[in-house]
Amino acid sequence: MHVHDVNERAPRFTVRRVFLPARATESFTVIGPDLRPVELVDEYLAWLTDCERSPNTVEGYAHDLRAFWTFLAERELSWDRVGVMELGELAAWARRPAANVVVLAEESARLSARTVNRMLSGVVGFYEFQARRGSTLAQDLVVRTRSGRGDYKPFLHGIARSRPRGRAVRLPERQSLPRTLSLEQVAGVIDCQERLRDRFLFTAHQLRHAYATLAYRDGVGLEVIGALLTHRSPSSTLIYTHPTAEDLRAVLADRGVLERVADLV
């Protein structure tokens, strides 16, 4: 499910591509129920365009703010009356498949945690823009969402060097490991190249995740793999190895762990 589909619940706001004659560039805007651009959102998106942000980024933020304005309309809230509590409600609202459904598992959520976090980034970016324009409420909201600590001061505050905390309103994301190619798949990719020069583009570094995983699976040491990939540390090389469940089972079986565990059952 894409963030564009969130507003199917109340399709009162739409995203439109616009042309800015003064700048001779294309941008995006959000049209409200009155068939007029939402002024604050329009100014923010135009500013992003002036800053030469990627058109895909501007379009993504436009859809994020469309969802946010739909949320505000459903809650009968004004943008300048939003706090950290309301941002948390926005995250839950975006995840729910329907108004009367509570998300208990990632698979049942309307949007993934990563998509919702990107939406929250777009909304916080909008408030950062308003804070730079002098909105004290927006400035306070940005400070609270960026600090992640509120009024709490840890032990040795002011003595020990503090590090910036992550955003307070952020959903935990489930890590997804990349899938590596098999030798047959690597050979298939190379064989598809019609020109000889294109075949030489596929080096060990170009296919480093698959290369490191296959070499590690065959018993090659991390030091050797790291040297081939020009890594300084074996810990860096370890990031590029992605053992599957079958790989882990094979190692446990080879060490006799599975057999000893079976004897205990």
Residues across the chain: 265
Average pLDDT taken over every residue of the chain:
79
**Quick check: is 105 in a domain?**
yes
Q: Is the pLDDT of residue 115 over 80?
A: yes
pLDDT of res. 155: 52
- Which pLDDT does position 264 carry in this prediction? 72
Residue 162 has pLDDT above 70, yes or no: no
| Residue 125 token pair | 């970016």
The set of residues, in sequence order, having a beta carbon less than 8 Å from that of 140 and lying 6+ positions away, is none
Picking from 29-33, 59-63, 97-101, which range would have the lowest pLDDT averaged per residue? 97-101
Gap between the Cα atoms of 101 and 72, Å rounded:
19
Q: Kindly state whether residues 139 and 216 are assigned to the same domain.
A: no
pLDDT digits (tens, 9 = 90+) for 171-224: 777 776 667 777 788 888 888 888 877 777 766 666 888 888 888 888 898 899
Average pLDDT over residues 123-128: 91
Considering the domain architecture, whether residues 26 and 140 belong to the same structural domain is answered as: yes
CA 30 to chain centroid: 23
Please indicate, yes or no, whether residues 135 and 193 belong to a single structural domain of this protein. no
187 and 141 in one domain? Answer: no
Domain count, the chain: 2
In a domain, 174, yes or no: no
User: What one-letter code names the amino acid at 145?
Assistant: T
Based on the fold, state whether residues 208 and 105 are members of the same structural domain: no
Determine, yes or no, domain membership for 216. Answer: yes
Does residue 166 belong to any structural domain of this protein? no
107's CB contacts (< 8 A; 6+ apart) are none
Residues 6+ apart with CB under 8 A from 69: 13, 30, 32, 38, 41, 79
With a threshold of 0.85, does the pTM exceed it? no
With beta carbons less than 8 A apart as the criterion, state whether 174 and 113 touch.
yes
pLDDT at 192 (0 to 100): 85
Residue 246's domain comprises 183-264
pLDDT at 148: 47
Can you say whether the dihedral through the CA atoms of 49, 110, 79, 10 is positive or negative?
positive
Query: How many angstroms separate the CA atoms of 52 and 62, rounded?
Result: 15
Ranking 69-78, 110-119, 197-206, 210-219 by mean pLDDT, the lowest is 197-206
* Domain match, 43 and 126 both: yes
Domain boundary at 147, 174, 195, which?
Answer: 147
- Asked if residue 201 and residue 105 are part of one domain, the reply reads no
Name the range with the highest mean pLDDT among 4-13, 76-85, 250-259. Answer: 76-85
Residue 164 covered by a domain: no
CA 237 to CA 212: how far, in whole Å? 8
Residue 141 in any domain: the answer is yes
Task: Assess whether 37 and 130 both reside in one domain.
Answer: yes
- CA 2/CA 140 separation, integer angstroms: 30
